[in-house]
Amino acid sequence: MITLQNISKTYATEGGPLHAVSSASLQVEQGDIYGLIGFSGAGKSTLLRTINLLERPEEGAVVVDGEDLTKLSIRELRRKRLSIGMIFQHFNLLNNLSVYDNVSFPLEIAKVPKAERRSRIETCLETVGLSDKAKAFPAKLSGGQKQRVAIARALANEPKILLCDEPTSSVDPQTTGSILAALRDINRKLGITIVIVTHEMNVIKAICNKVAVMEHGKIVEKFDLREKNIVPQSNIAQYLFKNEISLEGEREREKEAQYA
């Protein structure tokens, strides 16, 4: 479905070259919910954005459904991007447009006929549970509702792949659960492959079946979370897995204290 082969991306900065991603390779199968985790600056968002060439790598191949996107013309790449939806950390909604019109926006750009647009918008809003908010404007929505509008907008062009860049970092923990549940339902019911970037191990464990751990622009370990007895080898992976266990233990102790 998605194959990243030896991806490298470097930025020019005042302090010299910044190697955001170095020789990273990844294989995402159809139907996966694949997580990319690491601390800030690890390169995970940059790697995610190479999948739809929002970031074009200097080296490596980006193969989606058998096509190397780096070899496509501008017109061919635009066509291919219609099959790759994306949601962002800060929603990126158009505040002067209603929920309905925000979801309609990418369909208008794609020149989808009006009747079909209406049908798709209604289906997408129903999918994320916001049919009753069609006429509302973003300023009247909660953070979780805004992110669900962003998900509906990303689904409008009926993508095969959904890229999620820190989709829960701007919402509270309770809302995080509803966003992850919506993504899980989309994956299960629509068969959409999801790649999700996060720095929270609890997000990975709640939704992903596979995960790659990044540090300093490199993928240091990969795990299939369906396997039992996972034993991380790198320091960063050991920390992430141990920290989640510690946090879970802390939550359980808080519950016990509450009902003591």
Flag whether 55 is in a domain. Answer: yes
Flag whether 258 is in a domain. Answer: no
Nearest C-alpha neighbor of 68 from the set 176, 86, 56: 56
At 20 the pLDDT is: 96
Rounded-to-integer distance, Cα 253 and Cα 164, Å: 32
Q: Identify any residues that bridge with 3 across adjacent strands, giving them in sequence order.
A: 27, 63
Among the candidates 108, 139, 155, a domain finishes at 155
3-state secondary structure of 219: strand
Flag whether 253 is in a domain. Answer: no
H-type alpha helices, 19-142? 44-50, 74-81, 99-109, 114-127
What is the full per-residue pLDDT of the chain (260 aa) written as tens digits? 999 999 999 999 998 999 999 999 999 999 999 999 998 889 999 999 999 999 999 999 999 999 999 999 999 999 999 999 999 888 889 999 999 999 999 999 999 999 999 999 999 999 999 999 999 999 999 989 999 999 999 999 999 999 999 998 878 888 888 899 999 999 999 999 999 999 888 899 999 999 999 999 999 999 999 998 889 899 989 888 886 643 343 444 443 433 33
Among the candidates 109, 132, 155, a domain finishes at 155
63 and 147 both lie in a single domain: no
8 and 73 both lie in a single domain: yes
43 and 28 both lie in a single domain: yes
147 and 173 both lie in a single domain: no
Rounded-to-integer distance, Cα 89 and Cα 166, Å: 5
147 and 172 both lie in a single domain: no
3-state secondary structure of 238: helix
Flag whether 89 is in a domain. Answer: no
176 and 68 both lie in a single domain: yes
Retrieve residue 17's tokens.
């070259």
Query: Which CATH number does the domain housing residue 217 bear?
Result: 3.40.50.300
- Strand arrangement of the beta sheet that strand 2-13 belongs to: 16-28, 2-13, 59-64, 67-68
Flag whether 123 is in a domain. Answer: yes
Rounded-to-integer distance, Cα 81 and Cα 69, Å: 9
Flag whether 148 is in a domain. Answer: yes
205 burial level (CB within 10 Å; 0-12, 13-18, 19+): middle
218 and 176 both lie in a single domain: yes
Rounded-to-integer distance, Cα 67 and Cα 137, Å: 38
At 256 the pLDDT is: 40
pTM for the model: 0.89
Contacts of 137 (CB under 8 A, 6+ apart): 95, 96, 97, 98, 99
**Domain extent for 207:** 2-83+159-228
109 and 219 both lie in a single domain: no
209 and 170 both lie in a single domain: yes
204 and 119 both lie in a single domain: no
* Residue 66, CA distances (Å) to 1, 62, 69, 80, 158 in order: 7, 9, 9, 12, 19
Helices 114-127, 143-155: inter-axial angle, 10-degree rounding: 140
Flag whether 64 is in a domain. Answer: yes
193 and 64 both lie in a single domain: yes
Flag whether 246 is in a domain. Answer: no
Rounded-to-integer distance, Cα 100 and Cα 140, Å: 14
114 and 133 both lie in a single domain: yes
At 84 the pLDDT is: 96
Element (H, E) at 165: strand 161-165
Structural domains of the chain, count: 2
